[in-house]
Structure 1
Amino acid sequence: MLVKKLGLFLFMLFPLGLIAQKATISGYVKDASNGEGLIGASIYIKELKVGNVTNTYGFYSLSVQPGDFTLVFSSSGYAKQERKVTFSGKNQTLNIEMKPESNELAEVRVTAKAVDENVKGIEMSVNKIDIKTIRKIPALLGEVDLVRAIQLLPGVSTVGEGATGFNVRGGGVDQNLVLLDDAPVYNSSHLFGFFSVFNPDAVKDVKLFKGGIPSQYGGRVSSILDVKMKEGNAKKLEVNGGIGVIFSRLSIEAPLIKDKASFIVAARRSYIDILAKPFLTGNNADAAFNFYDLTAKVNYNINTKNTVFLSGYFGRDVFGTGFGFNWGNSTVSARWNHVFSNKLFLNATTFYSNYDYLLDSDLKNKRPSDAFRWTSNIVNLSFKPDFTYYVTPDNTLTFGAQVLSYQFSPGKATASSNGDKREFGQADKSGVELSAYVGDEWKISPRISVQYGVRYSNYDYKSDNGVYYERVPVPASIENPTGYTLKMIQVSPNASVANYGNWEPRFALNLKVGENSSFKASYNRLAQYVHLMSNTAASTPLDVWTSSTNIIKPQIADQVALGLFKNWGENGNDYETSVEVYYKDMQNQIDYADRANLFLNPLFEKDLLFGKGRAYGAEFFVKKNVGKLTGWVSYTLARTERLIEGLNNNDWYVNRYDRTHTLNVVGQYALSAKWSFGANFAYITGVPYSIPSQKYIYEGVAYPQTAVGTRGNIRVPDYHRLDISATKKNKKALFGKGSSEWVFSVYNVYNRKNPFSIYTQANDSNTLKTEAVQLSIIGSFVPAVTYNFTF
């Protein structure tokens, strides 16, 4: 039935641009210096005033009637190329290598896309940041960080320093799908959120979808962060690296077969524990506090029609002395690009992803008979073919499908005491998500473009051990504040317990209203079948991922966005401006009963509360693209709320990700070819929290207590911070070759003690009184020096 329905939809879409063409020209557009495919490069036919852009792999296709034409190839930061081409009625292949502009260091481009793509393109609520720009943003301890950079964009925030992940348009951390070469990354942070898992030396492209999400993406209800890795220099050996205060990094890329096969290997390792070791004694002498990661990729261009890629990421954080924990991500992606014809392109991907963590009271195995060990993980396996059919220069059809399996181990613990061992925790779960999609991007006229499609997803939940639970109403009590308990149901092993299917329509419109301005609108529906169980103010590496079940329904979000986009300036695109408004309606949102026990509790579902949510706001963005001074200003006015039965007197309340005002100012100034400077300023409204309104006294000590069901009745103080940096470029790098630079930075220049959270406790001098205590993760300015090199 699913195949028939999608087949009918495909048949309806296909004829929109089906016009017989006599000649098709296609090929790859690549960087002449390293052979990397250029994403979003523009190909334009002068005489016909039609064109297209390259896909994620640098592939393009154009079909026109026979004749003599001029093809113009352009991409920001590269010298424009023109080629005279004769279309004789036969299909042709034309591969182009573009050289970087010689003035690239003098004029910094904020993005890598065509300079007016923000106006002409169909996409809205989408941000791309070139890795060169990310490198110029002042960062904590001088280390380039992808996730911190996207938090400077409109609509993106975090609950505070030291929090894992990021929040988009009022959504939770788990509502963002983070992809690294198409494989999901479940924890995007190192060192409790201070650094991201993405090595900047291995990153090629970064794209964040906040709305108007195309039909090929699904699985999360707030955003998609799509990170593509570099493919390796196919021309020559290239070595990049950096030595910093916290960690050092090194990457090596080179051709295996020149212009046909190449590789890249990039590694990082922190050394806080090594530097601190001489000062640690006693029980702390064996303390471990570090993180490391390895990123690798190899590709082989078999022939003009076939290219294969294999990439992987392996990273881990370790923290503790005798008692401690560690966590990490592992991903492997294998992809095959195949050109069936000048019009039909295939990208087939299979991937493996594993996120796991360990909490162990006896890391050194010194007390095996008296220890506690807790493990958890989530594993994905998937196969996903994606097709692109270039019907005409004005019409591109995409379609594909995916099989995605989940294996959840929410939490298993082993406790040993005097040789007695006890095992407990939550049962394993598994699920399979099947999806298929079709979409069409159609330029109806020079003024109107549309992108529309549909995705269908189906999720089948199984309980691996042949047991599942149903909620049964009981009188509410301290033990059962939700008024439910769980009843165990026996089924045969691997039997289907719950099955959900969702249609997810997508639509986007671009109406050009002037030479350099456009109006855009979009709508999308998304479904999410995995959930992060966390009842703390900020997510931590020890939070539990779990499946949709017969009790936990899939999250559903419908989002509508409208926007105005205008470029202006002496050259028409020197400045970019945009204003977007959005409204997001969310179903099956999860909150938690007071004192809910989520970890290692096989009956945790009885403590869950369900309801709906809404998020709405306006985002303003101004960006300067060229000149010695570049950068942007973003401002977001937003509100995100929940309505959960049994909480806040059954009324709407702001949830923990609500930030009313968010202002970011980012600037880079190229003083000369030798010196450049950067600065960014952030101001954010404090997050909501619940302050105790009552207390009880036990044995002469006051214990603060929040009124039952209270949510977000006060906010922590506002957050603001200024960072600065200076970069000095050197003539030579290591061994007298290549180039290098010194980066001097100061994070939190004016020593602001930004609050991470506020909690209440008994007063030390008078235990009958309670007091509020403000916790700051970074309470002072942080200077740093980093040495970067390449040769």
Structure 2
Amino acid sequence: MRKCLLLILIFGLILTNQVKAQKQFTVSGYVKDAKSGEDLFAANVYIKELLKGTTTNVYGFYSLSTDPGTYTIVYSYLGTTEVEKIITLDKDFTLNIELSENEVITAEVMVTGRKADRNIEDAQTSVIELEMKTVKELPALLGEADIFRTLQLKPGVASAGEGNSGLYVRGGGPSQNLVLLDNATVYNPGHLLGFFSVFNADAIKSSTLIKGGIPAEYGGRISSVLDMTMREGNMKEYEFEGGIGAISSRITAQGPIIKDKAAFIVSGRFTYLSFLLNPILERQENPVSIPWFFDVNAKMNFKMGEKDRLFISSYFGRDRFSFSSGGDGGLSFELPYGNATTSVRWNHQFNGKLFMNNTFVFNDYVSKISAGFQENSFELNSGIRDFGLKGSLEFFPRITNKFKAGYEYVFHQFTPYIFEANIQDEAFTSEIDVKYGHEFALFIQDEIDITTWLKINAGLRGSLYASTGPNERVYFNGAVPVDTVQKGAFDSYATYFGAEPRLNARFKIDDKTSVKVGANLNYQYIHSVSQSTTTLPTDLWVTSTDIVKPEIGAQVSLGLFRNFKNNMFEMSIEGYYKKLWNQIEYGDQPVVSANEEIEDQFVFGEGQAYGAEFYAAKVLGKITGWVGYTLAWTNRSFPDIDNGKTFYNRYDRRHDLSVVFQYDINDRWNLNATFVYGSGQTTTPVVNRYLISGEIVNEYGDRNSFRLPAYHRMDIGASYILKDNGKRYSDLNFSVYNLYSRQNPYFIFDDVNFSDNGDIAIQARQVSLFPILPTITWNFKY
């Protein structure tokens, strides 16, 4: 209640400021790339005389309102020539700007697209803005440039270990991250069982990860937000680019549908290692096929006038893994899964101060396991499908003020584990119905410069969730059904409401130093529960019900930000504390029958995460890079696990260190290297073994009370530009993964051996995945 009153007071101060303001005029418009016509997101626009300005939104739109007068407006963006316009502001008018590529690159070139001191000036705390240029240059596993793996090199973001691209942000799990692609949710962001992310860097324009102080416009998850926007397509001319790597190739085509009015982009990626090796592997006695994947990103955008734009974007990706043995009638196994998303967005500019955006979204994630042996077959299907509408209004009353309000509605359709089997010519099927959920939210947020030293971004989100029919729910007492409840389409099993206040504040000490505070309360109404340390294709998404309560997360963070030597160096120290309620885990021995609700196997508890993040970066010059270190604790407690004893959960990483180095030797050569170190994963140890009736029975210790050996690895890489004449470009990217061939633990198993005299020898053995792996990739563009 006190948080809500604080927000009302803040909004009152904002409105009082507005009343006092004199008559002002507005200059607004779009900032675009001169070569492609694409909107430039986060381009810098400021008034030189006032030393105040703004950045463009994701659609390239900006708005500046101030007192009448003559001003110099400066427009800038990464790698472009700065543009200055002298205007006389005595009325509202539109000024669209195109920025051209800067062909003269100096030693002081920035490696990021944002304003040099934006980390000091912005109110938003705990944010990572990732440039695709950095993603493509750093050494990568098997040459696959990966957005998630690059984010793992930042403080506060950990991986689950070897060969895993999942994001574990400040003690949260992968399913607690809101992953958006053009406003559509991506439920499983992993290819090849989590080894790579599903996002093709060639198709992505911007990527922003918010670790704390989550703005009110985002909701539905309690850990973090990863908001990615696809490229829009070249409105001027046709372009083709792509690459050929060790395990996959990619191709992107873009160009105008109607020059300067409509454009398209199509980007595809597929693996071919399976096509080369599977014919050989199939000749083996027990063949295991190489998994394969493909994904396609497509987008079109249309200018329907000076004030209206329409965007249609889509993603489709599939993975497949299979195994067979013994020929016809032998054991066979197949695991296909994948995501599909579609977004249709319309934005409209009412005037220079008011901007609207509406989006229809569709998401579909499906997973299937099928197996067979002799005359028997088995199939398990699951998934989640969404239909949604989102809308927002952005209001720019003054140069120091941005107001945003909006709504969101999502209709969820959950497919539980639907079981079908044919055993000895007898058919079996589960009788669990599809689940439905309705999620609705309203939000308001305002960012305002209260004084020269205080900037606030405050917001409030109200969320409502209803778990509904039409379906039937069977309640069990143990394995015995005791009640059956039927609900219609508008009947609710449970309804929940959440008031979610959000706050970010920046206190500016001087031009080089600021202190930031962030706080947020989030509700999560849909859940994914896993027994593994990564997001697997078979993990099931479930709705909140009368049994499964919404997850709740509250976080506060405090950070010191400091720049040195004309913004050449950046430094930050952030501390955070996160409290979690209604956390969900499987019980110690979950066994689900074909017709039993999976939520009956869940246990519920609480958790907390806290730590400190240290970051130092050099962002100017031929040598750039960063060092990030995180000291963190993450624990959980469940009354039904270990008698309620608190334990470190699977995401706990006490120490996490990353070092990134990049060196532009000359116009053709670039060298780069990364080093990572992380505390080992937690696991539950075996403390005693007994031989009972000829069977080995294990006695386990406390949950996650043992930690595997630490993980560390060094990668190096280099890029060499073969050709760059303005129309054609090509380069070679060399990378060496795991330079000193560290045998990092993937998992540990017990190797049991029986001797002839009846003795039993049990030895723990470590399984490691990747030794040193050199790769080469050819990239091209014309």
Q: Normalising by the residue count of structure 2, what TM-score does the alignment of the two structures yield? A: 0.94
Residue 764 of structure 1 deviates from its aligned partner by 4.9
Worse-superposed segment, 642-651 or 173-182: 642-651
User: Is residue 469–residue 487 contact of structure 2 (8 Å, CA) maintained in 1?
Assistant: no
- d(CA) in 2 for partners of 1:105 and 1:181? 34
Is 1:660 the counterpart of 2:616? The answer is no
> In 2 relative to 1, CA 737–100 (structure 1 residues): closer, same or farther, beyond 3 Å?
closer
What per-residue deviation string (whole Å, max 9, x for no partner) do you get for residues 2-55 of structure 1?
A: xxx9x9999856554353533111000111121121111221112233212111
What is the one-letter code of the residue matched to 1:496? S
Corresponding residue for 2:133? Answer: 132
What per-residue deviation string (whole Å, max 9, x for no partner) do you get for residues 409-449 of structure 1?
A: 02111101232211026432110001000011010111110
**SS of equivalent to 2:110:** coil
Is 1:624 the counterpart of 2:601? The answer is no
**SS of equivalent to 1:79:** coil
What is the one-letter code of the residue matched to 1:510? R
**SS of equivalent to 2:686:** coil
User: Is residue 174–residue 534 contact of structure 2 (8 Å, CA) maintained in 1?
Assistant: no
Corresponding residue for 1:749? Answer: 739
Residue 769 of structure 1 deviates from its aligned partner by 4.2
**SS of equivalent to 1:323:** strand
User: Is residue 534–residue 598 contact of structure 1 (8 Å, CA) maintained in 2?
Assistant: no
Corresponding residue for 2:380? Answer: 374
- Structure 1's unaligned 5+ residue stretches are 473-478
Could you tell me which of 577, 580, 584 is aligned with 1:590? 584
Corresponding residue for 2:117? Answer: 116
Could you tell me which of 532, 537, 540 is aligned with 1:541? 537
What is the one-letter code of the residue matched to 2:670? S
User: Is residue 525–residue 543 contact of structure 2 (8 Å, CA) maintained in 1?
Assistant: yes
User: Is residue 14–residue 397 contact of structure 1 (8 Å, CA) maintained in 2?
Assistant: no
> In 2 relative to 1, CA 426–342 (structure 1 residues): closer, same or farther, beyond 3 Å?
same
> In 2 relative to 1, CA 182–497 (structure 1 residues): closer, same or farther, beyond 3 Å?
same
Corresponding residue for 2:563? Answer: 567
Residue 504 of structure 1 deviates from its aligned partner by 0.3
**SS of equivalent to 1:605:** helix
- d(CA) in 2 for partners of 1:513 and 1:749? 43
Could you tell me which of 503, 528, 551 is aligned with 1:555? 551
Corresponding residue for 2:327? Answer: none
Could you tell me which of 727, 730, 733 is aligned with 2:722? 730
Q: For 1:563-712, list aligned pairs within 5 A.
A: 563-569=559-565, 572-597=566-591, 602-707=596-701, 710-712=702-704
What is the one-letter code of the residue matched to 2:777? T
Residue 67 of structure 1 deviates from its aligned partner by 1.7
What per-residue deviation string (whole Å, max 9, x for no partner) do you get for residues 248-268 of structure 1?
A: 000001011222111100001
What is the one-letter code of the residue matched to 2:657? L
- d(CA) in 1 for partners of 2:23 and 2:306? 22
Residue 164 of structure 1 deviates from its aligned partner by 5.8
Could you tell me which of 309, 318, 323 is aligned with 1:307? 309
Corresponding residue for 1:398? Answer: 404
Is 1:492 the counterpart of 2:487? The answer is yes
Corresponding residue for 1:385? Answer: 391
User: Is residue 702–residue 769 contact of structure 1 (8 Å, CA) maintained in 2?
Assistant: no
User: Is residue 388–residue 396 contact of structure 1 (8 Å, CA) maintained in 2?
Assistant: yes
- d(CA) in 2 for partners of 1:702 and 1:24? 78
Residue 163 of structure 1 deviates from its aligned partner by 3.7
User: Is residue 244–residue 779 contact of structure 2 (8 Å, CA) maintained in 1?
Assistant: yes
Residue 386 of structure 1 deviates from its aligned partner by 1.0
Q: For 1:146-185, list aligned pairs within 5 A.
A: 146-163=147-164, 165-185=166-186
**SS of equivalent to 1:211:** coil
**SS of equivalent to 1:213:** coil
User: Is residue 591–residue 609 contact of structure 1 (8 Å, CA) maintained in 2?
Assistant: yes
Corresponding residue for 1:775? Answer: 767
- d(CA) in 2 for partners of 1:352 and 1:304? 28
- d(CA) in 1 for partners of 2:595 and 2:752? 30
What per-residue deviation string (whole Å, max 9, x for no partner) do you get for residues 644-686 of structure 1?
A: 1132342221111000000000111111111111100000001
Corresponding residue for 2:82? Answer: 80
> In 2 relative to 1, CA 255–284 (structure 1 residues): closer, same or farther, beyond 3 Å?
farther
User: Is residue 390–residue 407 contact of structure 2 (8 Å, CA) maintained in 1?
Assistant: yes
What is the one-letter code of the residue matched to 1:201? D
User: Is residue 612–residue 631 contact of structure 2 (8 Å, CA) maintained in 1?
Assistant: yes
Worse-superposed segment, 104-113 or 431-440: 104-113
> In 2 relative to 1, CA 381–173 (structure 1 residues): closer, same or farther, beyond 3 Å?
same
- d(CA) in 1 for partners of 2:418 and 2:704? 33
- d(CA) in 2 for partners of 1:438 and 1:640? 32
Corresponding residue for 1:762? Answer: 752
Corresponding residue for 1:30? Answer: 32
Q: Normalising by the residue count of structure 1, what TM-score does the alignment of the two structures yield? A: 0.93
- d(CA) in 1 for partners of 2:135 and 2:234? 21
User: Is residue 575–residue 623 contact of structure 1 (8 Å, CA) maintained in 2?
Assistant: yes
User: Is residue 727–residue 743 contact of structure 1 (8 Å, CA) maintained in 2?
Assistant: yes
What per-residue deviation string (whole Å, max 9, x for no partner) do you get for residues 502-542 of structure 1?
A: 00000111011011110000110011011112122333111
User: Is residue 411–residue 599 contact of structure 1 (8 Å, CA) maintained in 2?
Assistant: no
What is the one-letter code of the residue matched to 2:534? A
**SS of equivalent to 1:445:** coil
What is the one-letter code of the residue matched to 1:417? I
> In 2 relative to 1, CA 767–228 (structure 1 residues): closer, same or farther, beyond 3 Å?
farther
- d(CA) in 2 for partners of 1:127 and 1:400? 24
What is the one-letter code of the residue matched to 1:626? L
Worse-superposed segment, 780-789 or 46-55: 46-55
> In 2 relative to 1, CA 698–262 (structure 1 residues): closer, same or farther, beyond 3 Å?
same
> In 2 relative to 1, CA 462–314 (structure 1 residues): closer, same or farther, beyond 3 Å?
same
Corresponding residue for 1:290? Answer: 292
Worse-superposed segment, 528-537 or 325-334: 528-537
**SS of equivalent to 1:491:** strand
Worse-superposed segment, 414-423 or 659-668: 414-423
- d(CA) in 1 for partners of 2:495 and 2:628? 42
Worse-superposed segment, 649-658 or 512-521: 649-658
> In 2 relative to 1, CA 105–649 (structure 1 residues): closer, same or farther, beyond 3 Å?
farther
- d(CA) in 1 for partners of 2:167 and 2:591? 24
- d(CA) in 1 for partners of 2:367 and 2:600? 25
What is the one-letter code of the residue matched to 2:345? R
- d(CA) in 1 for partners of 2:759 and 2:259? 74
Q: For 1:427-466, list aligned pairs within 5 A.
A: 427-466=433-472
Corresponding residue for 1:201? Answer: 202
What per-residue deviation string (whole Å, max 9, x for no partner) do you get for residues 129-177 of structure 1?
A: 1101111111001121111110111111121224462110010110001
RMSD of aligned alpha carbons? 2.4
What is the one-letter code of the residue matched to 2:781? T
Residue 595 of structure 1 deviates from its aligned partner by 1.5
- d(CA) in 1 for partners of 2:717 and 2:152? 18
- d(CA) in 2 for partners of 1:499 and 1:277? 50
- d(CA) in 2 for partners of 1:114 and 1:676? 24
- Structure 2's unaligned 5+ residue stretches are 324-331
What is the one-letter code of the residue matched to 2:46? Y
- d(CA) in 2 for partners of 1:284 and 1:237? 48
User: Is residue 634–residue 664 contact of structure 1 (8 Å, CA) maintained in 2?
Assistant: yes
**SS of equivalent to 1:36:** coil
> In 2 relative to 1, CA 11–686 (structure 1 residues): closer, same or farther, beyond 3 Å?
closer
Residue 777 of structure 1 deviates from its aligned partner by 2.5
- d(CA) in 1 for partners of 2:667 and 2:163? 36
Residue 492 of structure 1 deviates from its aligned partner by 3.1
Could you tell me which of 47, 50, 53 is aligned with 2:49? 47
What is the one-letter code of the residue matched to 2:546? N
What per-residue deviation string (whole Å, max 9, x for no partner) do you get for residues 305-332 of structure 1?
A: 0000000000000111442111100000
> In 2 relative to 1, CA 106–673 (structure 1 residues): closer, same or farther, beyond 3 Å?
farther
What is the one-letter code of the residue matched to 2:485? Q
**SS of equivalent to 2:251:** strand
Residue 627 of structure 1 deviates from its aligned partner by 1.1
- d(CA) in 1 for partners of 2:604 and 2:710? 30
> In 2 relative to 1, CA 226–487 (structure 1 residues): closer, same or farther, beyond 3 Å?
farther
- d(CA) in 1 for partners of 2:380 and 2:643? 37
- d(CA) in 1 for partners of 2:366 and 2:738? 33
Identical columns (%):
40
Corresponding residue for 1:354? Answer: 364
User: Is residue 514–residue 561 contact of structure 2 (8 Å, CA) maintained in 1?
Assistant: yes
User: Is residue 158–residue 165 contact of structure 1 (8 Å, CA) maintained in 2?
Assistant: yes
> In 2 relative to 1, CA 581–211 (structure 1 residues): closer, same or farther, beyond 3 Å?
same
**SS of equivalent to 1:218:** coil
